[in-house]
Each structure stands twice: as C-alpha cells, then as structure tokens.
C-alpha cells in the first residue's frame, strides 16, 4: 500500500492545485462583476431571484430582483441599458433602497409588534420620447407598519442613441436663468392648482421649488409635457394628494436645448413677461428710460432694477437698437417692457405723415430684428404729439407725469430729490438710460420708493390699472 500511496501523491497535489486555481479564478470573477457578486451573496442570505429580460425597446432590458422569503417581501424592478455608468448609478440607487429596507426590518424585529408584515417594491415605468430618449420612473413604495405607505420617486432620463444619462441642466442648455423661469412656473402651478392647493405646506413648496438644479431632477418627458414629480409627504401632509406638475412643451420650447424642442411654440410662452395681479389700492410707480440702449449705463440700470425686483419700460431709439441688439434682448429677458421712441429723435409734429411713418416703422423693424417681437408702447420725443401723429402709431402712446430733468442736471445726487419733490401714486417717471449719472443715482431712488411701499411696474401695467377707475 505504501508504494501506491507515494505514487499517487503527485497526482493529488496536481488536482488540489487545479481546484485552488479555479476557486481563485471564480472569486476574482465575482469580485470583478458587481452584479454577480451581489447576486451571489444575496442568494445565499435571502433566497432571492434576480433576472434580466429584454424590453419592447431595443437596448433596454428590465432587471427584477424579487425575494422568495415571505418574512422579507420585496420586488425591485429597474432598467438596464448599454451604458455601464448609467447601470451602475441605477443599481446604486436600488441597492441603497434595499439596504435601508433591510435595516428597517432589523429594527422592527426587535419591537414587539408581530402583526406588521413590512414590504418594499420598486416599480418601473418606461416612457419613450422622440426616437431615442427614455424616461425611467422608479417608484419606491416602502411599507414598514406606519399609518401609510410612502411612495418616493426617482427618475432617470436616458439618451439611447448616445448611450448616456441626460440631466435637466443639459435639457435647459445649462442656463441658470432658464432654470429660474422654470422653477417660478412650477412653484406658481403648485400654489394655484385647485386640486391640491388646500393640502400644500407652503414652506415645503418654496423649498422644493427653489431654483437649484437638484430640486428638478425628478422629471419625465411624457407626450407633449415635461412632468415634475415629488415624494409623498414632501409637499403635503397627506399622501393622497401628492402633486405632479405638467409643463406643456410648447410653452417652454424657447428654453429647451436643441434636440428636446417640439415643432411649435405657443404665442404666450415661458419667456413672455408675466401677467401680474395688481392691487387696485396698492402703491405703484412706472419707471421709464428713454433714448437707449447705451452700453455701460443701460446695463448698470438693469442690474439696479434686478436688485429691487423692479420692472420698468425702455423707450428705444431705432438708430441705437441696430447697434446694441443684445442689450435689448437682455431688457426683455429680465422682464421689462420695450417701447418705440422713433428712429432719430425728431419733433414728430414737425414732420409729414410719410416721415412720421418711417420713424416709427424703421424702429419697429429694428426691435423685431433684435428680439423677435415688436414694441408694445410708443413715446414721442419731447412728448410732441398731435392727432395726426397719433393716427400713425399702432400702439398706445405713453407720456409721463414726473420729469427728473436728468438730461439737464446730469447729477446722480439730483435724481432722488427730483423724484421726491413730485412723487405721487401711479406716477410715470421719465429718465434717460444714456446718462451714467442716471445709472449712478438710480439705486437711491429705488431704495427710497421701496421704503415708501411702492412697487415698480411697466407702463402697460400702469395703463391697465388706471383704466379701471
Ligand atoms: Zn427722448
């Protein structure tokens, strides 16, 4: 027997080494493949079942991770694409939710309540958009024996052509001013929607709709709308009224980056100046700036107006608009009203009808070239107007009630005293944005008027307000 044993020993060694080598290889493979590793450990511990099946959409599969243990029920569904980074992000989200659920179970196991059967489901909805985009909606519903189930939503927007996730920032061309407009729309929609108005917690709405990119990452392109989602109890005290906000795509078309736009933009869209509710008994003033645009001073005035959340009206000269269209675009973008102030600043009452028409129409064309829409009001240079001139003008003609004489004194410290001297409710104040002294003196005027309780509106808003008397 002894010799046989000795003879076989090298063979046994060889077999042992081979077995060890394959085991090592298997371990290395498990470590390398994330999913496989999770599957292996979870299978051992909790008898679950993970399967991945192809979907109706090319390149998109659905993974299901379901528990077979009646004491630990869960069923998780999530997408798998051809982008590894995307898949990893999704898997991280799902496994974090699962870990939190299992941890919650441990806590419950130590409590005395045996009647509770906690559960976790993650449902998946896949919504295609255009040819190659998909919105994935993962609804995480955890029941751990509380009063209610709580549903939380996670969404992913995926470009199946370029094999990558797309964020809302990318959808809006990374323009934070567009985010502000969208955030204001969503906030207003929530606060004014009758369906859930009563159950909203205003502070929560304000926090959840503050213009930060991370506040708006739960979205889906669905039919002709961009939909924003919120968790149960995020905005309301009850889960039966969890709101969603649907923003029509044709309304936000101008702020969507190329590739996400639709064929038509509605006439009234997200870049149109907002229509505000004015209080008939409120204090209002309309600031007007003539003879611009002027680089430097006009830009400074725009910043001062922003500081006080003031909307004003700019009466533009056509022969300047043609040189500085980007300043006019900025005036519009920041919510101010655009007026026509003729092409070359003549005394219109001294001109023939054809000349008046030319002054008005050339300017109108320059404004259209700059901002894609015409002026909504007209102011004649020097206030010189008669019935013949009026008949040539397609928009309301607006004069003023307080002249700051800023063109004459050219002194920043003179601006406020001139306003104070004649201030009255519903005043229309005349200033000129071509003067640096006006730009420099404006802050003190706005600070004073704000402290007196005035709100700053456009001349069209003022016309509408005073027409009601
Ligand atoms: Zn003028």
At 36 the pLDDT is 45
Q: Report the chain's terminal Cα–Cα distance, integer Å.
A: 121
At 30 the pLDDT is 47
The C-alpha angle with vertex 279 and arms to 305 and 271, in degrees rounded to 5, equals 45
Evaluate if residue 10 carries a pLDDT over 60.
no
CA atoms within 13 A on the CB side of 25: 6
The Å distance, Cα 334 to ligand 1 centre, comes to 22
Q: Beta 313-316 vs 284-292: how paired, if at all?
A: parallel
pLDDT interval class at 136 (50, 70, 90)? very high
The active-site residue out of 432, 433, 435, 443 is 432
77 and 101 assigned to the same domain: yes
349 and 364 assigned to the same domain: yes
228 and 155 assigned to the same domain: no
Beta carbons of 283 and 453 less than 8 angstroms apart:
yes
Other C-beta atoms within 10 Å of 16: how many? 10
The Å distance, Cα 302 to ligand 1 centre, comes to 19
363 lies in a domain? Answer: yes
332 and 421 assigned to the same domain: yes
pLDDT interval class at 31 (50, 70, 90)? very low
290 classed as catalytic? yes
Highest mean pLDDT among 101-110, 189-198, 301-310: 301-310
At 193 the pLDDT is 82
At 22 the pLDDT is 61
Phi, psi of 175 (to 5 degrees): -100, 110
209 lies in a domain? Answer: yes
39 lies in a domain? Answer: no
User: Which carries the bigger pLDDT value, residue 21 or residue 360?
Assistant: 360
24 lies in a domain? Answer: no
152 and 191 assigned to the same domain: no
Evaluate if residue 373 carries a pLDDT over 70.
yes
In a 3-state reduction of DSSP, which class is residue 221? Answer: strand
150 and 175 assigned to the same domain: no
Which of 449, 447, 464, 461 has its CA nearest to residue 337? Answer: 461
The Å distance, Cα 291 to ligand 1 centre, comes to 5
Which of 260, 250, 83, 59 has its CA nearest to residue 168? Answer: 260
Q: Which residues of 101-133 are buried (b: 16+ CB within 10 A; e: fewer)?
A: beeebeebeeeeeeeeebbbbbebebbebeebb
335 and 455 assigned to the same domain: yes
Distance, in Å, from the CA atom of 411 to the CA atom of 416, rounded to the nearest integer, reads 10
Distance, in Å, from the CA atom of 376 to the CA atom of 394, rounded to the nearest integer, reads 9
The Å distance, Cα 405 to ligand 1 centre, comes to 12
The Å distance, Cα 374 to ligand 1 centre, comes to 19
At 169 the pLDDT is 97
132 and 196 assigned to the same domain: no
31 lies in a domain? Answer: no
The Å distance, Cα 435 to ligand 1 centre, comes to 12
230 and 350 assigned to the same domain: no
Evaluate if residue 364 carries a pLDDT over 80.
yes
Q: Cα dist. 279→144, 259, 310, 466 in Å?
A: 49, 42, 16, 11
The conformation of residue 160, written as its DSSP 8-state character, comes to: T
394 lies in a domain? Answer: yes
pLDDT interval class at 146 (50, 70, 90)? low
The Å distance, Cα 467 to ligand 1 centre, comes to 25
Evaluate if residue 352 carries a pLDDT over 80.
yes
The Å distance, Cα 451 to ligand 1 centre, comes to 29
409 classed as catalytic? no
The Å distance, Cα 380 to ligand 1 centre, comes to 8
The Å distance, Cα 349 to ligand 1 centre, comes to 14
Q: Beta 164-165 vs 150-159: how paired, if at all?
A: antiparallel
Q: How many domains does the chain have?
A: 3
The Å distance, Cα 327 to ligand 1 centre, comes to 18
69 lies in a domain? Answer: yes
| Residues whose CB falls within 8 Å of the CB of residue 114, separated by 6 or more in sequence, listed in order | none
Q: Give the pLDDT confidence of 423-462 residue by residue, as tens digits.
A: 999 999 999 999 999 999 999 999 999 999 999 999 999 9
- What are the tokens at 182? 């969208």
pLDDT interval class at 28 (50, 70, 90)? very low
Distance, in Å, from the CA atom of 127 to the CA atom of 253, rounded to the nearest integer, reads 20
User: Quick one: average pLDDT of 105-122?
Assistant: 78
Evaluate if residue 469 carries a pLDDT over 60.
no
User: Quick one: average pLDDT of 145-163?
Assistant: 88
Beta carbons of 389 and 349 less than 8 angstroms apart:
yes
- End-of-domain residue from the set 112, 134, 166: 166
The Å distance, Cα 379 to ligand 1 centre, comes to 8
Distance, in Å, from the CA atom of 373 to the CA atom of 321, rounded to the nearest integer, reads 13
CA atoms within 13 A on the CB side of 424: 7
Highest mean pLDDT among 14-18, 21-25, 56-60, 270-274: 56-60
Range of the domain at 145: 48-166
pLDDT interval class at 284 (50, 70, 90)? very high
1 lies in a domain? Answer: no
312 and 445 assigned to the same domain: yes
At 361 the pLDDT is 96
The Å distance, Cα 325 to ligand 1 centre, comes to 19
At 43 the pLDDT is 45
User: Average per-residue pLDDT in the chain?
Assistant: 88
List the CATH number of the domain containing 56. Answer: 3.30.565.40
At 414 the pLDDT is 97
- For the chain, how many helices (H) and strands (E)? 16, 17
> Does pTM surpass 0.75?
no
The active-site residue out of 65, 83, 159, 290 is 290
| Residues whose CB falls within 8 Å of the CB of residue 339, separated by 6 or more in sequence, listed in order | 288, 313, 314, 315, 316, 375, 376, 377, 378, 379, 398, 459
- End-of-domain residue from the set 151, 166, 181: 166
Evaluate if residue 417 carries a pLDDT over 50.
yes
Evaluate if residue 4 carries a pLDDT over 60.
no
């Amino acid at each position: 027997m002894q010799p046989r044993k000795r003879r076989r020993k090298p063979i046994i060694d060889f077999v042992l080494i081979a077995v060890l080598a394959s085991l090592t290889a298997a371990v290395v493979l498990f470590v390398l493949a994330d999913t496989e590793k999770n599957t292996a450990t979870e299978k051992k511990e909790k008898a679950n079942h993970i399967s991945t099946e192809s979907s109706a959409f090319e390149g998109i599969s659905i993974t299901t991770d379901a528990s077979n243990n009646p004491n630990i029920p869960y069923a998780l569904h999530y997408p798998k694409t051809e982008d590894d980074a995307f898949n990893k992000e999704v898997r991280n989200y799902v496994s974090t939710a699962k870990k939190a659920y299992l941890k919650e179970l441990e806590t419950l196991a130590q409590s005395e309540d045996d009647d509770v059967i906690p559960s976790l489901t993650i449902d998946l909805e896949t919504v295609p958009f255009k040819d190659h985009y998909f919105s994935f909606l993962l609804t995480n519903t955890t029941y751990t024996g509380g009063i209610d189930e709580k549903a939380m939503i996670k969404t992913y927007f995926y470009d199946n052509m370029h094999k990558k996730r797309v964020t809302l920032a990318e959808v809006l061309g990374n323009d934070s001013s567009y985010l502000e407009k969208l955030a204001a729309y969503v906030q207003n929609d929530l606060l004014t929607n009758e369906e859930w108005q009563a159950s909203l917690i205003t502070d929560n709405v304000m926090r959840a709709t503050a213009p930060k990119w991370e506040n708006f990452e739960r979205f889906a392109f669905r039919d002709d709308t961009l939909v924003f989602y919120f968790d149960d109890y995020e905005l309301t005290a009850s889960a039966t009224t969890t709101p969603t906000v649907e923003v029509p795509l044709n309304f936000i078309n101008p702020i969507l980056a190329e590739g996400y736009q639709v064929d038509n933009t509605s006439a009234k869209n997200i870049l149109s100046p907002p229509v505000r509710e004015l209080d008939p008994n409120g204090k209002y003033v309309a600031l007007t700036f003539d003879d611009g645009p002027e680089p430097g001073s006009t830009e400074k005035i725009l910043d001062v107006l922003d500081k006080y959340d003031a909307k004003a009206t700019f009466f533009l000269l056509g022969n300047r608009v043609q040189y500085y269209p980007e300043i006019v675009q900025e005036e519009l973008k920041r919510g101010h009203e655009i007026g026509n102030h003729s092409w070359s600043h003549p005394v219109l009452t001294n001109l023939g009808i054809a000349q008046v028409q030319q002054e008005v129409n050339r300017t109108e064309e320059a404004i259209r070239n700059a901002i894609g829409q015409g002026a909504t009001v007209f102011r004649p240079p020097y206030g010189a107007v008669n019935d013949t001139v009026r008949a040539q003008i397609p928009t309301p003609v607006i004069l003023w009630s307080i002249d700051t004489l800023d063109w004459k004194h050219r002194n920043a410290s003179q601006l406020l005293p001139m306003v104070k001297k004649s201030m009255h409710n519903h005043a229309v104040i005349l200033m000129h944005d071509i003067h640096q002294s006006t730009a420099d003196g404006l802050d003190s005027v706005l600070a004073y008027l704000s402290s007196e309780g005035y709100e700053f509106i456009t001349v069209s808003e003022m016309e509408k307000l005073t027409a009601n008397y």
